Structure 1
Amino acid sequence: MQAVKEALHVATTPSCGLVCRDDEQRRVFEFCKACVQQERAGSLYVCGCPGTGKTLSISKVKQSVSRWADEMGMETPDDLSINCTNLGNTSDIFGKILEKFQVRKKASGKLSPLQQLQRMFSHKESAPRRMLLVVVDEMDYLITRDRAVLHDLFMLTTLQFSRCILIGIANAIDLADRFLPKLESLNCKPLVITFRAYSKDQISNIINHRLKGS
């Protein structure tokens, strides 16, 4: 009984892998694959209620992208995962991205991390060679706390020589309606993939898979 309780606990990562999200994972993978193949930046917004497999699905897709790129003999993109609730200041997110590109902040004088990224992606000579897959989890925090940072973040993917593949993850589906129109007006509207609530048949399938591992 203890093993069953642990297997069914919401905090337990299923040993048999994530089930019932194949279509959503395929769409995210195809998006990332196209960006890597064409060496172009892009943005994706993943939304859905808590517990619908968003974060776990994106984690699985990251592994699939790396494996696919390696098999194709292509340069594997770097990856960076950021949880917005762990940021001291919302603008710290740009410093984390800058550090991943291994750029020394002191070299650019008084420019902020955002300004350094904007300048880097605006010139071919300064643009990094390798793509960077940035996964921003708990994006609800930015949507409700600092919309300007959110807009600047998505706009990084529109710069001519940007190397960012941005995937934002948020819990509330209706939040998309509150910030997507503004992003569209800025010409940086992301592709949206919604994780719907599980049906009763899917929940039954998930329980069966989890119990098999116990």
Structure 2
Amino acid sequence: MSRRNPPDSPLFSLDPIAPDYALEIAARRDGFWPVAGADEAGRGPLAGPVVAAAVILDPDAVPDGLNDSKLLSAEQREALFSAIMATATVSIASSSARHIDTTDILKASLDAMRRAIHGLATTAGFVLIDGRDIPQGLSCHARAVVKGDCRSVSIAAASIVAKVTRDRMMARADASFPAYGFAMHAGYATAKHRDAIGNHGPCPLHRMSFRPFRDV
């Protein structure tokens, strides 16, 4: 189930300097509550899972400093992750490299997001989703918000949870596959990562449907 809003809907607004709670308030005014934010981390890397998070913030305890995870330092993300986990309802899901290879990165990302949303301990009445696509099969109303992690604090919180979770997963993977430096680059296509692939070939965490692997 999804809901597409007309351009003059209160759910459309100019991008603020930092994300705020306006989209959530507008959804509540329209009769939808509670409101969750959903986002993913890890669409672009050559290795590792894509991780999605869904977050329902407590409107009386929204952590200060929420923003697009890419605009925050690792230390800021870690501190905000702890604050979010202590005050919000959170659900996390992931799609493995093999899942990505058997479908595609978009489908795998949306599937992880759907599972994260459905995994919330409190059922969301409305979900704000970062990007242009809405997962199929949701049991609540939803809308996609372009650059949502810069507009909605709920989406920003989800982006932080997804990013920190994925970075931790890749740091643990580094212990199993130390030749690739996953703790340093989290599977992204850095020069050192590409050199390691050239020297050692792919490991089970690599996405074989991605270049350069699919061209071999």
Greater C-alpha radius of gyration: 1
TM-score under structure 2 length normalisation: 0.26
Instruction: Choose between structure 1 and 2 for higher RCO, CA contacts under 8 A separated by at least 6 residues.
Output: 1
TM-score, length-scaled by structure 1? 0.27
Q: Which has the higher helix share?
A: 1
